[in-house]
Structure formats: structure tokens, C-alpha cells
Structure 1
Amino acid sequence: MMGFPKGDLKELLIACARAIDEEGSSIATDVMLQELRKLVSVSGEPLQRLGAYMVEGLAARLASYCTTDRVSGCKKPKMKKTSIEERISHMETLHDVCRYFRSGYLSANGAIKEAVRGEDKIHIIDFHITGGSQLVGLIRELSRRKGGPPTVRITGIDDSVPTYAAGSLLEEAGMRLQFVACKYGVALEFHAAAISVEELEGAHLAVIPGEALVVNFNLGLHRIPDDTVSTANHRDRILRLVKSLSPKVVTLVEQELDTNTGPFKQRFMETLDYYAAVFESMDLTLISRGEKREQRDYYGDFFEYINQAPPSDDSTRIGIEQHCLGREVVSIVACEGAERVERHEPFHKWKVRLTMAGFTPSQLNSDLNDRIRKRLQSHNSNYLCDERDGVFYLGWKDRPLVVTSAWH
């Protein structure tokens, strides 16, 4: 109990995680948690803010241990639900501040646009549509196509973590996309597939012969359970199902970290390293407190989001950290088994899964990715933008945080 590193937040977080994993509840872990709570703050420096959510996760993990089976005894911490409007607002503000997220969407949209060039009828299946913001830019780009826009049908699949928001994201996404399509003169039909991925079958996707099929996995494939959660292995099942539909292109945007199958201590260290970079990037890209934020238009220019001034007030930042990033951190740290919804995998593991499902890599639009890189780095030279072997890595400093790839 006397040997833990007092005052050093990072080292104390690691020591506490190790002690909880090895010892469970003890005098030492109780003392470490008490010490940690003195060092963390949701309005402090990046590591202090991240530490607040890691401590919440550690405390929930410790509280859920039982004497017979510490791992399966873990329970999901209670999360305050937010409204649909708040959920979408928090997510879109996060993507404004952490520009590598929305840049990943733009890169994926570029691959979709190339794959459906010359097609008159397009069907887009989006497996994590949230508020539909990624498809807003795509609809606008399609509206500018020479010869007129195609007709577009979108099948939206709801957030696989419905407890994160009260109400249906699908209804809101459908209304927003219909509004955008009407504004830009694109004939759009929206179909809401309000069904869990565990129950999803090909018939729910309403694929029609003659339409150019596009499938988009946008920061959601890692939430579909695999064989470590269920023998059904829905993650690989969904990939095989998508392949059987013969899509023109499949786009994958995922966070670049490994929180799925490794032991808890490894997962904790990976989470600490990844989210420390995210929280740091937020601070260094926020505008000064006295500067007025520019008017925002979600439906504007393809690159307009990069030029928007992010929010400067603490309440907005705390909101997006709590309702977006904090939820992810707590899930990764506190939960096991089916209760843990955040199960990220690095790109090399996604590549194996996609290849085993029968997919072949498709090229991204390198010219577009170069434009994205120049725009991002004109705002902050710390942004990482690197295209390797047809895959686009985006991140902060030397840490890749988001990876975009395309497949067929």
C-alpha cells in the first residue's frame, strides 16, 4: 500500500488499474482511488479530464467484482441518457474539434463518389448512421454531378448502443437527409432498418437489382459483437452478409486502437495512450475564449467544416467529452463480455476480417486525401495524415487515431 506513486497521475492510474486487476478490492485500491479523485477534473488539463473518466471506469469495475467470477460479474455503469438532438449535437461538435473524424468521412465519401460514377440509381446502406452527417456531404457532391444527380435510396441502421440516447436516431437522420436532398435537388428515399445487428438479415436491407449498392461502416463496426462475445460472431457474419450482396464499394472508417481481445492491463494502457492524444488535440485546436464562433452550416461546402471555428466554452467541451468520449472510456475500462460495447480493432485486424469475408481492397481518392491533408495541416501542423498502401491514416502527432479504407 505504501509503494504507489502519489501525485503522478498517469503512473497512479496505471498502478490502480494493475492493482484492481490483480487484487480486486483492497485497502490499497481504495486508497489509490481516493488519491486519484483528488488529481482528476473534467475542467482541468487533458490528462486530468481523461483521468476523470478512467477513474469512473475503474471504480465501476471494482464495484462490480464478485468473489466467484470477477470478469463475468462486471456490469455496465449507469449512463444518463441524452435527447436525440443533444446526442447529434455532441457528436457533430466533437467531429468539428477533432477534425480527423470528419476527415475520415470525407475520404470515405470520395471513394463512394468514385465507385458510383455514372450510376443512375444508388442504394447506400449505412450501418451507423447516427444523425446522417456523413451522408450530407455526399448528397451535395452527387447533386453537382455532370448530367444531373442520380436517384438515391438510403437504408439507415440505428446506433448499436441505443442506451446512449433517448429516442430514435433513425427518424432524425431521415428527416435531415430528406431536407438536404430537397435543398440540392436529389431524389431521395430513406428506409429505416430499426433492427439490431444481431437480428439483421439480408431481407431487412431491401436490395433491389439494378441499383449500385454502397455499404458504409462509420465508426460502428467495432460495436458489433464478435466471437469473443457470442458464438454467433455477428461481426464476421455481417461482413459475409454484405459481401453476398455484391456491393460496388464498402467503406470502413474506424478508430485505430485495440480494445477487443487483449487482457485488461493491455487494454487499459492502449485506452490511456489513445484518448490522451484525443484530449490533447482538443485543447490545441480550440479557439481562444474571447473569439466569436463562426456561423455553422452543416450543408455547405465540402471542406467548409475544416474552416469552422470550434466551440470555445468549457460547458460545450465538457458536454462532448462526457457524452461521447467519456462513455467510450468508461465502457472499455469498466465492462467485460456482452456488457462492453466498445471493442475496437486496429486496421491490420480489420484487414484480416475483410479478406476472410472475401473482400478485396479498393483505392481511395488520393487527390482528395491530399487536399484533406493540406487543409488539416494548414490549421495545425500536429495533424497526422498519411496514405499508405491505399489506406488513409489520420491522427495527432505520431499517433494514428482514425483509419479509412475501401473494399469491394
Structure 2
Amino acid sequence: MLPNNFPSDTSIFINRFSEDSESIRSKQSLMEAATAISEDRTDVAWEILTRLSVSQNPKGIYSEQKLMEYMLSALKSRMSPVDYPPPVAELFTEDHLLSAQSLYERSPCFTLGFMAANLAILEAASEQPSTNKLHVIDFDIGLEEQYRDLLCELFRRQAGNQSTLKITTLAYSFNGEERLRMVGDRLRKLAAIMGVRLVFNVVSQKLSQLSRDSLGCEADEVLAVNLAFKLYRMPDESVSAENPRDQLLRRVKGLAPRVVTLVEQEMNGNTAPFMVRVEEALAYYGALLASLKPKFWWVVDSTRARAEEWVFGKWRARMEMAGFELKPLGQHVAQAMQRSPWLTVKEENGGVCFGWYGRTLTVASAWR
């Protein structure tokens, strides 16, 4: 029996099924090209990539078509960075920043990761009832909505005793500082309506300068550090001998926060062999693009259910080496965030995993 919401025009379903079959063949060809690249068979790789480029729909709207467009561009850049330069410069533009914020807002796996971080911060605050002052240090505010939600929750919980929320965020460029000050202005307006006292500070400091004093930490406040989608963009020892990522973790540990929230993508895009990275990117970003705008629920891409690399295990080892102890979020957090049949939310090894069609996209965890 067909579901009640099955389209009356079955040609839509037939065409969509045909496109899925074509997508599978395209992905197989893409992996063949990646294999040829890894084996230095450039002529074969170029032939496959050229054939795939010709067959792509330039006006494709489905997530699989967009994914193939991005992957083709990446592999061409890998083979000939001069003719097909990688869009590195775009990563530092205002447009890219706005695109990232749009991604955080539209994908439930990202949005719920921020929500889980809020729950961990509020739980840490509740463990110290002697104060109603909460100080959150954020190294890169990715989603303004996270702090709008935090303000609303503090308003709901303050019960006549006004709460104080201090947000200290770090800017690494002039444009970044200007954007963050605009975020602060909007949050102040909301805080005034909610009756929550908000202190919003934007500071520009090097890692070596970070301390409780330089960040304005006070003895009578609950200190939390939010590392949402920050660490994966920082070089580690495999990229730089200075290892800025571990430098940051050591500095954060030295601040003695009550809780550190970590939200990261569940994807190994750096240390794995080339073929594994290509396969990982296909599976991960295929599910991610699909999560932005769900398709018909009965069309299931089996690649989304592939076994995950469990990158969270690597983040867990990294945090523990820096001296942090895992503070399990618990099954109650996962249960509170189950929103749709497509979205999978589960507690795993102390963290909460958010996925689409069984493919984990982000993991949220708390540390102390």
C-alpha cells in the first residue's frame, strides 16, 4: 500500500528513482577517478572526470547533483591546482562566513549540536547554585541563535533573581571584530526584553596572551568555554610544528573552566589515506546536503548507512591528552532532541551523535 502522502503523479517518483540510479553510477565513476589519481594514472583520471563533467546537469538542484559538482571540482584541483585553483581564498571571505552560518541554521545536525552545548553549559551552572553569574568564552561564534536560546533559557530559569550572562568572544580580524560587535548589539536588545543582564566583550588576543585576567574572568561566576566547530579548523602537529590546536587546549585548561563544550564534525578529512578521504567526503557531504532539504522520505541512499569512522574517538583522545575529563551528557539529552524520523540522535561513549539516515554528522560532548 502506498503512503497517504505519495505523489499522485508517479512520474515524479520514477524520474527521481532514475536520478538516484544515475547518482550511484556517477559516484562509482568518481571513485574510479580517485583510484586512478592515487595510482598516478592521470590520463585515465582526466578521461573519467571529463566524461563526468559533460554528463552533469548544469542546473541540477538535487543534493546528489550538487555533491558531484563539488567533488569534481575538488579532484580537478587535486590534479591541476594551476588550471583549477582550490578556493582557499574564499574560506576567509564574508560570503563564506555567511554560508557557514546558513549551514548551521539549516542543518538540524549542526543546530542540535549547539543546543546540546547549551544544555551542558546550563547543567554546569546549576551545579553551582551559589551564583547566578554565567561567563561563556567562545572562540568563534558560529551560530548567533545559540546565545539567543541561552538567553531565553536563562530568563525561564531565573525565577525573580536576575541572571547575568557574560559572553567573551575572540576576533581574529577587523571584519570579524565588526561582525561580532553587531552580534553583541542584537543580543543586548534581546537580553533587555528578557530581563537578563548581558555583558558582551569582543577581544583580540594571541593564544600566548590568554589568561583569566585578560579575558575578564571573575571568581564568583561559572566559567564555560564553548569550542563549537573551532578545533577542526586549527592546524595540529601534522600541519605545523607549533601545533596551535594543542596550544589552545592547554590555554583553555589553564583557565580552569567549569565545563568545556566540544561540537565537531564526525569526519576524517585529514589523516586518512586519499581514497578513504574521498569515500568519506562522498558519504558525509551526501548526507549533509540531504539534511538541508529532506527529499521524499521513501528514497533512501544506502551509502548514508555506511560504518562511521568514529572520529569522536580521536577528539576524545586529544582532549584527554590535554588533561580534560569527559563529562557524559547522558541519554536524556539524546531523548530530548529526537525531532524527526530522518534524524538520528544517540548517546555514544559519553557524547551525543547527530546524524541523517544513520550517518553521524556531528558529535557534541562536554569536558571539565
TM-score range relative to shorter protein: 0.7 to 0.9
2:169 to 156, 164, 174: 156
For residue 235 of structure 1, what is the aligned residue in structure 2?
245
For residue 52 of structure 1, what is the aligned residue in structure 2?
69
1:314-366, Cα deviation, whole Å (9 max, x unpaired)? xxxxxxxxxxxxxxxxxxxxxxxxxxxxxx98110111011111111113264
Cα pair 1:174 1:190 within 8 Å, conserved: yes
For residue 37 of structure 1, what is the aligned residue in structure 2?
53
Structure 2: which amino acid aligns with 1:392? V
* Aligned: 1:367 with 2:332: yes
Q: CA deviation at 1:201?
A: 2.9
Q: CA deviation at 1:258?
A: 0.9
Cα distance, 1:283–1:157 mapped onto 2, change above 3 Å: same
Cα distance, 1:353–1:166 mapped onto 2, change above 3 Å: closer
* Aligned: 1:355 with 2:367: no
For residue 116 of structure 2, what is the aligned residue in structure 1?
107
Q: Distance in 2 between matches of 1:6 and 1:181?
A: 48
Structure 2: which amino acid aligns with 1:153? K
When normalised by structure 1's length, the TM-score is: 0.72
Name which one, 1 or 2, has greater alpha-carbon Rg.
Answer: 2
For residue 294 of structure 1, what is the aligned residue in structure 2?
none
* Aligned: 1:14 with 2:31: yes
When normalised by structure 2's length, the TM-score is: 0.79
Structure 2: which amino acid aligns with 1:269? E
SS at match of 2:323: coil
Q: CA deviation at 1:115?
A: 0.6
2:90 to 79, 82, 104: 79
For residue 226 of structure 1, what is the aligned residue in structure 2?
236
Structure 2: which amino acid aligns with 1:16? A
Structure 1 gap segments, 5+ residues each: 67-73, 288-343
Structure 2: which amino acid aligns with 1:184? M
Q: CA deviation at 1:195?
A: 4.6
Q: CA deviation at 1:384?
A: 0.7
Q: Distance in 2 between matches of 1:384 and 1:191?
A: 36
Q: Distance in 1 between matches of 2:91 and 2:256?
A: 40
**RMSD of aligned Cα (Å):** 3.2
* Aligned: 1:393 with 2:347: no
* Aligned: 1:217 with 2:219: no
Cα distance, 1:44–1:253 mapped onto 2, change above 3 Å: same
Cα distance, 1:384–1:345 mapped onto 2, change above 3 Å: closer
SS at match of 2:294: helix
Q: CA deviation at 1:79?
A: 2.7
% identical equivalent positions: 33
* Aligned: 1:136 with 2:148: yes
Cα distance, 1:124–1:286 mapped onto 2, change above 3 Å: farther
Q: CA deviation at 1:92?
A: 4.7
Q: CA deviation at 1:75?
A: 5.9
Q: Distance in 2 between matches of 1:223 and 1:108?
A: 19
Cα distance, 1:231–1:82 mapped onto 2, change above 3 Å: closer
**Which structure's relative contact order is higher, taking Cα pairs within 8 Å and 6+ residues apart?**
1
Q: Distance in 2 between matches of 1:55 and 1:196?
A: 38
2:103 to 82, 94, 98: 94
Cα pair 1:21 1:264 within 8 Å, conserved: yes
Structure 1: which amino acid aligns with 2:316? K
Cα pair 1:40 1:49 within 8 Å, conserved: no
SS at match of 2:90: coil
SS at match of 1:59: helix
Q: CA deviation at 1:104?
A: 1.3
For residue 304 of structure 2, what is the aligned residue in structure 1?
none
Structure 1: which amino acid aligns with 2:239? V
The 5 Å alignment of 1:288-303 reads none
Equivalent residues, number: 329
Structure 1: which amino acid aligns with 2:145? S
Q: Distance in 2 between matches of 1:225 and 1:132?
A: 25
Cα pair 2:222 2:258 within 8 Å, conserved: yes
Structure 2: which amino acid aligns with 1:156? T
For residue 272 of structure 1, what is the aligned residue in structure 2?
282
Q: CA deviation at 1:135?
A: 1.4
Q: Distance in 1 between matches of 2:88 and 2:119?
A: 38
